[in-house]
Amino acid sequence: MKGKFYFSTVLAMVPLLLCFTFIGSAQANYFDKDLGTGQVRVFYKSPSPAAAEAIMLGVGTAMSRDSYDNLANQLIAYGYVVIIMDHQPGSMTKTDAGKYKSCAIEVQNNVLSWLSGTGCTSIAHWILGGHSAGGQAAQNAVGGDLNLADAMFSIDPYSIEGASRVALPGLYWGFDVTTCFVEKTDAAMAAYYYCDGPRAFYRVNKTYSWGPCGYSPKYYHCSFADGSCPACTNCMTTPSYFFTDVAKSVNKFINTAFYGTWSKANVKVSTTTPTTLFVDSDAP
């Protein structure tokens, strides 16, 4: 009898379990759009603030719009709209500033209609940037047309030496070690120096540990992505607190740049990730 009772109880629960699974998947707060200028994944909080900040990040080399879900989900917890943008779908390279600009403009012209019903009725500020090659494209696109953005947020942008200067508030995350063939002095550090507005640079300290690929940097160029990057020899799993720390710093940066008084004390957050913060005249 016990066996029959247990079996019938499990069967009775199956519809309920399926219902929870369906509801859970339906609650995923993002949608994909295939545009004439690229492909995007739009993340949002449900319900969204009526006036939300929007963060648009161009993807890195050989990456796609589904490569940054972990970071995006941490950012939308603060009420931001997050757009992961692949402005060169099907291409390994993502450094084309013209295509970045075209895709960004198409998103900006349409995102509010896409978000109809979420509670968001206006975008308070646009924060543009990107990861790796997408960060370089963003630097040149925004540097060539400051009307595209109100501020910059880039995560270890690639090969910035010789890129456009940007006279807007800027936040950058990078590393004190060269990984994935991205020279540490020509990535986030360079973007920090190429920013002519109020600027902040969170440099992740050099930390080595054992992992699936042997003894290598615990935090590296592709830590921002969900599952590393193609052609990168490091395959360390990114700890969840890393994404939490980045999102926390972005929230502090936005609040300070647009709604507070800019200072190092006001832009600083405590991080579990070992970091050093540089602001304005600080020299990395």
**Residue 92 domain boundaries:** 30-279
The fraction of the chain above a pLDDT of 70, given in percent, is 90
Is the residue at 267 inside a domain?
yes
With tokens 């707060």, the residue in question is 29
pLDDT in tens, 164-220: 999 999 999 999 999 999 999 999 999 999 999 999 999 999 999 998 888 999 999
pLDDT in tens, 72-116: 999 999 999 999 999 999 999 999 999 999 999 999 999 999 999
Q: At residue 18, does pLDDT exceed 80?
A: no
Is the residue at 21 inside a domain?
no
Is the residue at 246 inside a domain?
yes
Is the residue at 19 inside a domain?
no
Three-class SS state of 53: strand
When divided into structural domains, the chain yields a total of: 1
Is the residue at 1 inside a domain?
no
Phi, psi of 102 (to 5 degrees): -60, -45
Is the residue at 176 inside a domain?
yes
Is the residue at 6 inside a domain?
no
The fraction of the chain above a pLDDT of 90, given in percent, is 86
> How many angstroms separate the CA atoms of 206 and 200, rounded?
19
Is the residue at 8 inside a domain?
no
Distances (CA, A) of 129 to 29, 58, 117, 211, 216: 22, 6, 27, 30, 27
Q: Which of 9-23, 141-155, 210-224 has the highest mean pLDDT?
A: 141-155
pLDDT at position 233: 86
Q: What is the CATH number of the domain that holds 233?
A: 3.40.50.1820
